[in-house]
């Protein structure tokens, strides 16, 4: 489903890693591991097509993503380091915009439900700038509940700034998504309580 | 197909409304630049009347230039731009929406205020409609060309000066036809040809600039 | 393996490791040609070409001015061409070529403007008139400066390549628009402008001198660009094996000489 082979990543003029291959099947949960600065985020950005690899190719459903970027982007949910929140908008406005911009039809009611599920029912109408780090992160994560039809989730440090209960709940959500035939690729520094152990890809093993 | 376009347009207009001080700053800049000219060249009415079209156009151009850095900077900083680039809808559409929202909140106020400033410079009565039409046709071209420059200089140190160096030569034809339209009207030769050329330029910029801008955004976020 | 290994043999030189030695071999030839042609051209233009009936000796500056102006425009087109090739084919060498060309193009712009001013003072009585050609030449210089400034300001080489290519193409689309609009503006504001066109019938020796100088400018551009692109290739490719081997060879040669 999602495959990559011989990936090399150039950052500035430094080669971060090379010869990296990966394969993610339906139902797969892949954890990208490695020390800081080894290129975990860069790898995720290569997979999403936001960045181009120096060598190698990423394929989605057998087709190179450079050739058909839209095919991947229709089925991809990527949550990066930055939570993509505008401080002047409320969580609800931010979430509705994020869905509409991605091309999803999410009505107000389902957005409210998603925010409530992630524990933000009291913050719906506050401007995002007054939210805490954990709450900001949750607004982004609320998109998970609205993106079930996007099979591939690529998440950069989704557990950062979340409390223990939220971590457990997020792990369950991700496991459920995989059980339903989805795919999750994520980076994390903490051990999350997944129902089954994720596959681990150590980027450090391909470092230059 | 249009959901990203409408979402971006609605959001950027809402943001401009919530941060309306920025719009007022642009307008204040426009006004003060125009007001500088009498101090610089002397307050002789005949002279001011002669240079009025050029002064108004140059000031409008600078006001547009100085607000350009706002176009993508916020979205770049908070990660929204990445999300937009991952949209399953064509980037050209939402880029056009962003530029349209930018023009509505920067160019349109400038167009609206220009006649008032024309009075300060004693611009002749007959020239006002042409002044407004030429600005209404010309400032969207400035916004479209400027968007390409803003996308290319995203997040660079000293990006503001660089942006000016990149886009000002490209602005020259707009300035020539825009200010020229008003002068042609004043001299009695009629502004139709100028305005038609501006309209053609707008159509061309609308067709090409969003592509270049989307490509530039991909390059700058890579 | 890279695309070039499968393609026709001419494409082999699109690969940096093949182009690097080729550029090194060709550059001295072009430099030699440039030197010979420049000397010949200067001799023709200063000693053979007759004195102009109306302008006297001053006109001889056109032997430098006109080739420089031609070259400055032509180099921009070539830059845009390489930028387009780079964006479409994703060949890094093309971006390097366009970046190596830019300073030379800007140099020719400055030469054209400078000699134009020197010629303008005795002929028009002023160093600068807002003539259509002078003005578009100045704007072209700004396009070059913008390109150079942008590619230098971006630290990530790949982003610099592509951003530069985009602005070069945007500029190339706009060059005709700028030229046309400036011309239009100039005819409306007919001031002190004098047509740059020379005496109606140009002596054959004048034309030959100018053409020789133009070819010299070509050869010079090729030599300088090939020389300039070589260290750029090494810098970009320094993490590859062939550059390591190349530097080793270079070091041995230096050592042998010392």
Block means of pLDDT (10 residues each) for chain B, 222 residues, are 88 93 92 93 89 94 92 92 92 95 95 94 91 96 96 89 94 93 89 93 95 95 86
Write down which residue in A131, A150, A169 finishes a domain: A150
CB-closest option in B4, B11, B221 to A50: B221
Q: Do A84 and B78 touch (CB under 8 A)?
A: yes
Q: 3-state class of A18 per DSSP?
A: strand
* Mean pLDDT computed over C16-22: 86
A8 & A62 share domain: yes
**What residues form DSSP beta bridges with A24?**
A2
For residue C123, pLDDT over 50 is answered with yes
What would the two tokens of residue B192 be? 């139709």
A169 & A127 share domain: no
Q: Do A10 and C158 touch (CB under 8 A)?
A: yes
Q: For residue range A23-63, list pLDDT tens digits in order.
A: 999 999 999 998 888 899 999 999 999 998 888 999 999 99
- On whether residue A80 sits in a domain, the answer given is no
Structural domain span for residue B183: 3-221
Structural domain span for residue A146: 86-150
Q: 3-state class of A29 per DSSP?
A: strand
| CB of B134 closer than 8 Å to CB of B173 | no
For residue C104, pLDDT over 90 is answered with yes
Using only the alpha carbons of chain C, give its radius of gyration. Answer: 21
Q: Which residues of C touch B152 (CB under 8 A)?
A: 150, 163, 166-167
Number of Cβ pairs < 8 A linking chain A and chain C: 13
- On whether residue A204 sits in a domain, the answer given is yes
A164 & A63 share domain: yes
Q: Do A12 and C157 touch (CB under 8 A)?
A: yes
For residue C81, pLDDT over 50 is answered with yes
- With contact defined as 3+ CB pairs under 8 Å, the chains touching A are B, C
- On whether residue A21 sits in a domain, the answer given is yes
Write down which residue in A150, A166, A183 finishes a domain: A150
A166 & A207 share domain: yes
For residue C196, pLDDT over 70 is answered with no
CB-closest option in A76, A85, A103 to B89: A103
Residue A199, H or E segment? strand A199-202
**DSSP code of residue B103:** I
| CB of A187 closer than 8 Å to CB of A157 | yes
| CB of B128 closer than 8 Å to CB of B115 | yes
Cβ partners under 8 Å of residue C89, min gap 6:
C3, C14
Domain CATH number, residue A59: 3.40.50.300
The model carries a pTM of: 0.90
* Mean pLDDT computed over C128-157: 90
- pLDDT of the residue at C5: 43
Does A15 reach chain C within 8 Å, measured CB to CB? yes
* pLDDT band with cut points at 50, 70 and 90 for residue A122: confident
Highest mean pLDDT among C5-14, C127-136, C171-180: C171-180
The number of C-alpha atoms within 13 Å of C188 and in the hemisphere containing its C-beta is: 22
A4 & A68 share domain: yes
Q: How far is CA B190 from CA B119, B184, C185, C221, in A?
A: 21, 5, 15, 47
For residue A192, pLDDT over 80 is answered with no
Write down which residue in A127, A150, A173 finishes a domain: A150
**What residues form DSSP beta bridges with A31?**
A186, A200
Q: Do C158 and B222 touch (CB under 8 A)?
A: yes
Antiparallel, parallel or unpaired: β A29-33 and A199-202: parallel
Q: Which residues of A touch B15 (CB under 8 A)?
A: 86, 88-89
| CB of A87 closer than 8 Å to CB of B75 | no
- pLDDT of the residue at A23: 92
What would the two tokens of residue C97 be? 């070529």
A46 & A115 share domain: no
Cβ partners under 8 Å of residue A115, min gap 6:
A91, A92, A95, A121, A123, A124, A139, A142
Give the count of domains, chain A: 2
- On whether residue A146 sits in a domain, the answer given is yes
CB atoms within 10 A of CB B188: 7
- pLDDT of the residue at C252: 85
Q: Which residues of B touch C150 (CB under 8 A)?
A: 152-153, 162, 166
Does C154 reach chain A within 8 Å, measured CB to CB? no
């Amino acid at each position: 489903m999602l495959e990559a082979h011989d990936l090399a990543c150039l950052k500035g003029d430094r080669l971060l890693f090379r010869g990296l291959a990966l394969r993610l099947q339906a139902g797969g949960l892949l954890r990208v591991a490695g020390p800081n600065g080894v290129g975990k985020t860069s790898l995720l950005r290569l997979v999403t097509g936001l960045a181009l690899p120096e060598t190698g190719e990423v394929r989605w459903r057998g087709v190179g993503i450079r050739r058909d970027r839209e095919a991947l982007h229709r089925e991809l949910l990527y949550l990066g380091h930055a939570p993509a929140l505008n401080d002047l908008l409320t969580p609800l406005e931010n979430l509705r915009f994020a869905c509409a911009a991605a091309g999803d039809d999410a009505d107000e009611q389902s957005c409210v439900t998603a925010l409530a599920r992630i524990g933000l029912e009291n913050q719906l109408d506050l401007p995002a700038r007054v939210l805490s780090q954990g709450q900001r992160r949750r607004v982004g994560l609320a998109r998970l509940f609205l993106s079930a039809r996007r099979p591939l989730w690529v998440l950069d440090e989704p557990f950062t700034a979340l409390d223990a209960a939220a971590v457990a709940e997020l792990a369950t959500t991700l496991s459920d998504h995989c059980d339903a035939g989805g795919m999750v690729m994520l980076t994390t520094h903490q051990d999350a309580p997944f129902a089954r152990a994720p596959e681990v890809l150590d980027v450090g093993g391909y470092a230059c | 197909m249009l959901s990203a376009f409408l979402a971006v347009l609605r959001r950027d207009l809402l943001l401009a409304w919530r941060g309306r001080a920025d719009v007022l700053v642009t307008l204040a800049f426009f006004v003060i630049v125009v007001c500088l000219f009498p101090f610089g060249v002397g307050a002789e009415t005949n002279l001011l009347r002669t240079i009025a079209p050029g002064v108004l156009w140059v000031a409008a151009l600078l006001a547009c230039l100085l607000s350009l850095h706002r176009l993508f900077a916020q979205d770049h900083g908070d990660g929204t731009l990445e999300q937009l680039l991952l949209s399953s809808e064509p980037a050209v559409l939402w880029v056009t929406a962003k530029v349209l929202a930018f023009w509505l909140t920067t160019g349109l106020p400038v167009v609206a205020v220009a006649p008032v400033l024309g009075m300060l410079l004693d611009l002749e009565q007959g020239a006002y409609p042409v002044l407004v039409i030429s600005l209404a046709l010309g400032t969207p071209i400035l916004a479209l060309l400027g968007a390409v420059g803003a996308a290319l200089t995203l997040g660079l140190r000293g990006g503001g000066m660089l942006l000016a160096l990149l886009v000002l030569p490209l602005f020259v034809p707009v300035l020539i036809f825009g200010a020229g339209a008003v002068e042609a009207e004043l001299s009695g030769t009629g502004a139709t040809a100028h305005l038609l050329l501006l309209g053609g330029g707008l159509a061309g910029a609308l067709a090409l600039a969003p592509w270049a801008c989307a490509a530039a955004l991909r390059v700058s976020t890579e | 393996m890279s695309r070039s290994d499968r393609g026709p043999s001419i494409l082999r030189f699109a690969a940096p490791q093949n182009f690097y030695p080729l550029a090194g071999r060709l550059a001295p030839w072009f430099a030699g040609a440039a030197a010979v042609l420049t000397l010949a051209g200067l001799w023709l233009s200063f000693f053979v070409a007759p004195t102009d009936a109306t302008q006297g000796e001053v006109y001889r500056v056109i032997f430098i001015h006109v080739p420089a102006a031609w070259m400055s425009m032509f180099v921009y087109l070539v830059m845009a061409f390489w930028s387009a090739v780079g964006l479409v084919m994703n060949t890094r060498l093309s971006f390097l070529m366009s970046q190596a060309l830019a300073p030379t193009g800007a140099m020719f712009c400055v030469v054209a403007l400078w000699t134009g001013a020197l010629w303008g003072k005795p002929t028009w009585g002023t160093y600068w008139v807002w003539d259509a050609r002078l003005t578009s030449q100045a704007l072209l210089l700004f396009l070059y400066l913008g390109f150079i400034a942008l590619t230098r300001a971006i630290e990530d080489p790949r982003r610099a390549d592509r951003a530069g290519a985009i602005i070069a193409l945007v500029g190339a689309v706009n060059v005709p628009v700028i030229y046309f609009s400036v011309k239009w503006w100039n005819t409306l504001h007919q001031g002190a402008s004098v047509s740059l066109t020379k005496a109606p019938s140009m002596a054959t020796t004048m034309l030959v001198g100018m053409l020789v100088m133009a070819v010299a400018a070509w050869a010079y551009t090729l030599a300088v660009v090939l020389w300039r692109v070589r260290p750029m290739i090494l810098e970009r490719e320094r993490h590859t094996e062939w550059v390591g081997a190349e530097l080793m060879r270079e070091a041995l040669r230096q050592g042998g000489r010392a």
